[in-house]
Structure 1
Amino acid sequence: MPTPTVIDTLISARWIIPIEPVNTVLHDHSIAIDGERIVAILPTSEARQHFIADNYHQLTDHVLMPGLVNLHTHAAMTLLRGYADDLPLMEWLKGHIWPAEARHVSTEFVRDGARLACAEMLKGGTTCFNDMYFFPEAVAEAAVDTGIRAAMGMVVIEFPTAYATDPDDYLAKGCAMRDRWQHEPLLNFTLAPHAPYTVSDDTFAKINILSNQLDLPIHIHLHETTDEITQSLTQYKQRPLARLHDLGLTSPGLIAVHAVHMNTEEIALLAQHGCHIAHCPASNLKLASGFTPVATMAEYGLNIGIGTDGAASNNKLDMFSEMRLAALLAKGVAQDASAIPAHQALQMATINGARALALDEKIGSLIPGKYADLIAVDLAQINTLPTFDPASALVYSAGRDQVSHVWINGKLLIDNHQYTQLDERTLKMTARVWQNRITA
């Protein structure tokens, strides 16, 4: 018998859902991790013969799966959770959120809010998030400090804020942030123009040039509300997507956030150009934006990932809730109970988000050679028993509180529901301090 290989970590579980190949459930298998990467997935009966691990985890009632990829959020806005609820989007933005941001947003606000968000996401099984907010360097610091993987949005908007004075200033500061952090293995980058109604044609032209030069995705709110489309027709005599297409932005680098009000011609256009959708069902419902035609998008072959949006408009960064909503709403809108089955919803929350960020060769599925970004979910709870199908249990029954372990880059960050390197008490105290400041 060959000598067993010494590795860092061996995890044995009742089930593994690797996402790739699709519709696969492995029973009584183990994952071997050495350094930052997965080195093997094999039956547990063979694992101890092949490997000796410094750290061994026997998870008898759990499913192992890739970490969840939150394809759209505003992490720092966690400090505005519940600040202005039950309002339409533009009233919410103009009457409450933008004024609050003008008073409070700073490097300190963003760093503290992003740390709180990273902690919440980690506890709920999110191992990668795609962010769009001011002071992105503070978000980068928070992500690296907490050990979570992130895509930093180089935010651009026409009007001045505490972060930047004009579009050129936003772009210059975004590029400087990328230059400083581009060698950090946990970070990637996007260009993040806020929305068609807050970005001019000239600025979009500059963004398109930078996207091509730096090979960066473009992450943008698009067709979120009917008002956005009406405003575009009045100002530009065309719908927002048509305008972006004429400006050359429809490409495999485009991540269209929300995409609620898309007709079939627009869906076909996005699919033809290899664009991606960041579907945020809870935010769309809470702001009464509408119902994204997800099943139709999937039929056209569009790559659809899932995002939470920010905690100010959700109000939680809970990818398990989003998966369930995405699957159920797709069925209701399409009037088809077979639309977006459980395995497809899991793909949307993992590999599809990774693909939109051009990270699908590194994360999003459990394959030897990929980074060890994975989570364990305990299904031996009343709400997930009996478990006839673990994929169904994950999407329709499980909650984020059932995430027991989280690994990113092979590093254990949540161990039996507890943080391994974050001080939860300090995070709570910081949140209370900001609540008092904002209230005052």
Structure 2
Amino acid sequence: MQLKLYTCDVLYSGMGTPRNNGAIVVSEELIVATGTPDELKQMYPQAVFAGHHRVIAPEPANAHTHLDLSAMPYTEKPYTEWIGEVIAFSRTGKRNLESALQGLTQTARKVGDIVTEENVMEALLQHESAQGIAYWEVIGVNPEHADPIFQATVERLRRWRKLERPGGMKVGLSPHTPHTVSGKLLKMLCEFADAEGFPMQIHVAEHPSELEFHTSGTGDLARAVEGWSGQKTTDILGHANGPTIVEHLHLLGVLKTRPTLIHVVNVHESDIRLIAEAGCPVVTCPRSNQALDCGVFNWPAFAQHGVEIGMGTDSTGSGKTLNILDEIQFASTLYGEEVPLRSLVRAAVKGNYRVLGLNVPFLRRGEPVSNLQFWSF
């Protein structure tokens, strides 16, 4: 039996913490052992050295994207201006099923996608190889419209759940953001999802203007939302301005339903503590945050508080590509020694699999070689 020895900068077995200076010995079909290069060379002197890689780990996942925006050109603009570009692009009719399916070929097989069209949801649930969660996006700023939107959402989610296949995509829910979903509707949606077991993602505190919207009712975002919706910020929130975005979610009881929070860039230390106490995972999209002038996700602070961190690419319109390895490479440069590569690897595997409700394949003795991947970037 021919044994091969591979070495790497970072080895992640899918268990515990990734290790630097790792190695793995494999046969044609099975994993034989993992360890350090010196350990495995001594234990398996007959193993033939087969190459060095940056990372050896299970397949990474992409915890957050918008596949139906895959035809949208990459655009660097402040968040409030970029949203206008999304609306304009959507009006061209190119935010559609074809775009979503094309995007699916460009990203990880395990993915968390925000869905805005019914035919996209149905296609993802019936897709033969995709795994993860398709989150139905809900928007509704007017509290007076909360009841009919809620009822329509309940009907859709229950109907789509019947289309789920073993090993395939699952149905989830994404109340878009706390500034585009009224407090009344947000509370109803999250309580329903929690009661019936639908996983959730919510875009939270992506841009500084969102914090202004909540705390003072001022700024570009507040003016824009009030302009197109006819609703005051206080009417949308359901209470006076003052609390931060995360405090708003806490007041509504949303945090206790443990949704996955996307971005969470513009938060205070007290917000991070609330997130940690509730047990909500978070997902960061560093390239998108930079493109839209959002700021930098405080990875060290979230990690210090024990929050589960995942990574996503967001859309091609703000993240440029749907390749999660591109996101990891960018994050590695962005954070440097402050966030070591092994932390990024864990987030892309363990963090993302947990967000998507998937089991991590292990790299250990007796497991199939197909469990491992060589990451190059």
Smaller-chain TM-score bracket:
0.7 to 0.9
Instruction: Name the counterpart of 2:88.
Output: 99
Distance 1:117 1:321, change over 3 A: same
Q: Is the 8 A contact 1:284 1:290 kept in 2?
A: yes
Structure 2 counterpart of 1:60, from 36, 50, 53: 50
2:65 is matched with 73
2:27 aligned with 1:27, yes or no?
Answer: no
* C-alpha contact 2:201 2:260 (8 A) present in aligned 1: yes
Amino acid at match of 2:291: K
- Match for residue 44 of structure 2? none
Rate the CA distance shift 1:203–1:261 in 2: closer, same or farther, 3 A. Answer: same
Q: 1:147 aligns with which of 115, 129, 139?
A: 129
- CA 1:354–1:137 in 2, change beyond 3 Å: closer, same or farther? farther
Report the counterpart of residue 414 of structure 1 in structure 2: none
- Could you give the per-residue CA deviations for residues 116-168 of structure 1, whole angstroms, max 9, x where no partner exists? 111111xxxx23111112125525525754613121102211179xxxx9453
Q: Provide the TM-score with structure 2 as the length reference.
A: 0.77
- Output aligned runs, 1:29-428, within 5 Å: 29-30=25-26, 41-43=31-33, 60-61=50-51, 64-82=56-74, 85-94=75-84, 96-104=85-93, 110-121=96-107, 126-135=108-117, 137-139=119-121, 141-142=123-124, 144-145=126-127, 147-158=129-140, 166-181=149-164, 183-233=165-215, 234=217, 235-236=233-234, 237=241, 238-251=243-256, 253-331=258-336, 337=337, 339-359=338-358, 362-363=359-360, 365-366=362-363, 374=371, 376-377=373-374, 398-399=376-377
Deviation at 1:326, TM superposition (A): 2.4
**1:354·1:363 contact (CA, 8 Å) conserved in 2?**
yes
C-alpha deviation, 1:261, in angstroms: 0.6
Once residues 207 and 371 of structure 1 are traced to their aligned partners in structure 2, the CA distance between those partners, rounded to angstroms, is: 41
Percent identical residues: 20
Q: Which amino acid aligns with 1:112?
A: E
- For residues 314 and 225 of structure 1, what CA distance do their matches in structure 2 show? 15
CA distance in 1, matches of 2:201, 2:3: 35
1:79 partner SS: coil
Q: Which amino acid aligns with 2:72?
A: L
Q: Distance in 2 between matches of 1:194 and 1:117?
A: 20
Q: Structure 2: which amino acid aligns with 1:42?
A: V
Q: Secondary structure at the match of 1:251?
A: helix
1:249 aligned partner, one-letter code: V
Quick check: 1:167–1:203 contact (8 Å CA) kept in 2? Answer: yes
- The residue identity in structure 2 corresponding to 1:99 is A
Counterpart amino acid of 1:27? A
| Counterpart secondary structure, 1:196 | coil
Q: Report deviation, 1:102.
A: 3.5
**1:413 maps to what in 2?**
none
Bigger shift: 71-80 or 231-240? 231-240
Deviation for aligned residue 1:208 = 1.9
Give the conservation status (yes or no) of the 8 Å contact 2:114–2:134.
Answer: yes
Unaligned runs of 5+ in 1: 5-9, 34-39, 45-57, 332-336, 378-393, 400-440
The reply to whether residue 17 of structure 1 matches residue 12 of structure 2 is yes
| Distance in 1, Cα, partners of 2:198 & 2:368 | 21
> What is the deviation of 1:216?
2.5
Residue 74 of structure 1 aligns to which amino acid in structure 2? H
Offset of residue 97 of structure 1: 1.3
Q: TM-score, normalised by structure 1?
A: 0.67
For the 8 Å contact 1:223–1:261, the answer to whether it is kept is yes
| One-letter amino acid of the structure 2 residue matched with residue 201 of structure 1 | G
Show structure 1 runs of 4+ deviating over 4 A.
Answer: 10-13, 367-375
The equivalent of 1:419 in structure 2 is none
Change (3 A) 1:358 1:31: farther
Q: CA RMSD in A?
A: 3.1
Q: CA separation in 1, counterparts of 2:370 and 2:82?
A: 36
Q: Single out whichever of 73-82 and 142-151 deviates more from structure 2.
A: 142-151
Of 364-373 and 136-145, more deviation after overlay is shown by 364-373
The AA in structure 1 aligned to 2:76 is D
Q: Report the 3-state secondary structure (helix = DSSP H, G, I; strand = E; otherwise coil) of the residue aligned with 2:254.
A: coil
